Amino acid sequence: MKYPLDCEASFKNTYLFWLSRFIRNKITGLSNRQVNNKERLAQILQELILGFDSIKELKLVVKEVRNIGINSIHVYYIPLEKLYTFLINYGAASMKEIDEELLSDFLATETSTLSDATKKNYRIALITFFNYLDKQNEAENGNVYRYGIELKNWGGLSGKSGTKLPSFMQKDEVSTFIQAIESYPFSSKIAARNRLMIKIILYTGIRVSEAINIDLKDFNKDGNAYIIQVRGKGNKPRVVMIKEEIIRKDLKEWNEVKSSSNNLLLCNQKGNPLSQAYISSIVEKILLSVGIRKEKNGAHMLRHTFATMLYQKSKDLILVQESLGHADINTSRIYTHFDKDRLKQTTDIF
């Protein structure tokens, strides 16, 4: 069913109407392999049809969708939430006031401090949203309003000035962090689980989304190590390993208190997967407790730390690519920037 681009309500309500329907459209199109609460997701899809009175209500629902297992929905939502605030401050009264020039102004002001990868996500979110509007709006006389947004001439991505090197821990900081994992005052029921979870991410370099979905059938002991099969982006499987001695104690304690009988290695007390936001908050608290502060203190920083140390020790870019599950080796090349042995050669030129 199609709707007029501008309804009789205020601009705020009109934008929220379209954003809610767009988010619903994206949820139904994204991978649902990790969904852990089908009933609640079905309810949310109905709520998105009814719409919301405020952006805060919609934001809470999107956060819930992520926790349910549609993790990538925020890639579309965050830029469009920022656009909502930008348009309100601009004083927009009609959806028809939005054009390429206004969107370019938005990108220039809102993404100036972001990486090129994030800038690209913003651009894609805008193009996808307005393509959706092109297809779904229709006036009473049957006419359709076309945006035709392409943003080809936006110059925010020219060059590599927006690219940032990833945050990672130095070797001494890693030692401090590992000690802090053992001493941090977790709640007794989840202490072993949290230590196990963080160690697996740190010692294998797997993504947080991969860690929270480890199936027990894919977690097997092999000699003095555990072999873990994980599924990365695009549902591509790969295998990582971790020494048994690193997780033996925590794994034993977690298995003794784990109340759920599901097949997840790591879960909450109801048996549902842990959220990525929860894990990142735990990692950040441990880091801050020992005075380690990085530009990004979340759990993904542990993956960068693993990859950096792996390359420094092995000088094997193929090994880094295979361990991290990168489809393109050029993605792995970022870690060559931290090769101190090669950099030291530059100090002897003169």
Three-state DSSP class for 211?
helix
The pLDDT assigned to 32 comes to: 78
- Whether residues 127 and 176 share a domain: the answer is no
- Whether residues 185 and 68 share a domain: the answer is no
Cα–Cα distance measured from residue 289 to residue 51, given in angstroms and rounded to the nearest whole number? 42
* pLDDT > 70: percent of the chain: 95
Type of residue found at 61? V
Q: Taking residues 98-102, report their average pLDDT.
A: 87
The pLDDT assigned to 198 comes to: 96
Q: What DSSP line would sit under 279-302, residue for residue?
A: HHHHHHHHHHHTT---S--STHHH
Q: Is 216's pLDDT higher than 90?
A: yes
The pLDDT assigned to 75 comes to: 92
CA distances from 306 to 206, 299, 309, 341 (A): 9, 12, 5, 18
Of the residues 157, 192, 211, the one at which a domain ends:
157
For residue 250, give every residue at least 6 positions away whose Cβ sits within 8 Å of its Cβ, in sequence order, or none: 192, 193, 195, 196, 199
Within-domain flag for 326: no
Across 92-96, 178-182, 274-278, 328-332, the highest mean pLDDT is recorded for 178-182
Residue with tokens 């307005």, as numbered in its chain: 130
Q: Is 248's pLDDT higher than 90?
A: yes
Q: Is 296's pLDDT higher than 90?
A: no
The pLDDT assigned to 155 comes to: 59
Question: Which uninterrupted H or E stretch holds 73?
Answer: helix 73-90
Q: Taking residues 29-49, report their average pLDDT.
A: 89
Q: Which tokens in the block code for residue 157? A: 């991505």
Within-domain flag for 112: yes
Of the residues 274, 301, 328, the one at which a domain ends:
301
Sort residue 185 into left (φ over 0), alpha (ψ -120 to 50) or beta: beta
The pLDDT assigned to 167 comes to: 86
- Whether residues 213 and 136 share a domain: the answer is no
The reported pTM is 0.60
- Whether residues 73 and 181 share a domain: the answer is no
Q: 222, 219, 205: which is closest to 313 by C-alpha?
A: 205
- List own/partner pairs for 186-189 with CB under 8 A and 24 or more apart: 189/257, 189/269
Q: Is 234's pLDDT higher than 70?
A: no
Within-domain flag for 307: no
- Whether residues 116 and 40 share a domain: the answer is yes
Q: Taking residues 238-260, report their average pLDDT.
A: 93
Q: What DSSP line would sit under 37-65, residue for residue?
A: -HHHHHHHHHHHHH--SSHHHHHHHHHHH
Q: Is 255's pLDDT higher than 60?
A: yes
Residue 45 near residue 27 (C-beta atoms within 8 A): yes
The pLDDT assigned to 156 comes to: 62
Residue 197 near residue 266 (C-beta atoms within 8 A): yes
- Whether residues 191 and 112 share a domain: the answer is no
Cα–Cα distance measured from residue 240 to residue 219, given in angstroms and rounded to the nearest whole number? 10
* pLDDT > 90: percent of the chain: 52
Q: Which tokens in the block code for residue 228? A: 């873990």
- Whether residues 20 and 152 share a domain: the answer is yes
Three-state DSSP class for 240?
strand
- Whether residues 103 and 27 share a domain: the answer is yes
Q: Taking residues 264-292, report their average pLDDT.
A: 88
The pLDDT assigned to 64 comes to: 93
Q: Is 20's pLDDT higher than 60?
A: yes
Q: What DSSP state is assigned to residue 242?
A: E
Within-domain flag for 42: yes
- Whether residues 255 and 122 share a domain: the answer is no
Of the residues 124, 157, 190, the one at which a domain ends:
157
Q: Which tokens in the block code for residue 247? A: 């997780």
> For residue range 63-81, what is the model confidence (pLDDT) as tens digits?
999 999 888 899 999 999 9
Q: Is 109's pLDDT higher than 60?
A: yes
Within-domain flag for 325: no
Cα–Cα distance measured from residue 346 to residue 274, given in angstroms and rounded to the nearest whole number? 46
The pLDDT assigned to 99 comes to: 87
Q: Which tokens in the block code for residue 233? A: 């982006």
Where b means 16+ CB within 10 Å and e means fewer, 157-176 reads beeeebeeebbbbeeebbee
Q: Is 44's pLDDT higher than 90?
A: yes
Q: Is 217's pLDDT higher than 80?
A: yes
Residues with catalytic roles: 207, 233, 300, 303, 326, 335
Residue 221's domain comprises 171-301
Q: How many domains does the chain have?
A: 2
The pLDDT assigned to 276 comes to: 80
The pLDDT assigned to 162 comes to: 45
User: Which range, of 20-24, 98-102, 127-131, 334-338, averages the lowest pLDDT?
Assistant: 334-338
* Phi, psi angles (nearest 5°) of residue 262: -75, 180
Name the burial class of residue 228, with classes exposed (0-12), middle (13-18) and buried (19+) by CB atoms within 10 angstroms of its CB: buried
Within-domain flag for 278: yes
- Whether residues 135 and 206 share a domain: the answer is no
The pLDDT assigned to 164 comes to: 62
Q: Whats the size of the chain, residue-wise?
A: 350
Residue 44 near residue 61 (C-beta atoms within 8 A): yes
Q: Is 16's pLDDT higher than 90?
A: yes
- Whether residues 178 and 287 share a domain: the answer is yes
The pLDDT assigned to 254 comes to: 94
The pLDDT assigned to 31 comes to: 75
Cross-strand pairs, 215: 264
Within-domain flag for 106: yes
Q: Taking residues 192-212, report their average pLDDT.
A: 94
Q: Is 108's pLDDT higher than 50?
A: yes
For residue 232, give every residue at least 6 positions away whose Cβ sits within 8 Å of its Cβ, in sequence order, or none: 207, 210, 238, 325
> For residue range 118-168, what is the model confidence (pLDDT) as tens digits?
898 999 999 999 999 999 998 878 888 889 888 876 656 554 444 567 889
Q: What's 213's domain CATH number?
A: 1.10.443.10
- Whether residues 16 and 149 share a domain: the answer is yes
Within-domain flag for 175: yes
More confident residue, 113 or 204: 204
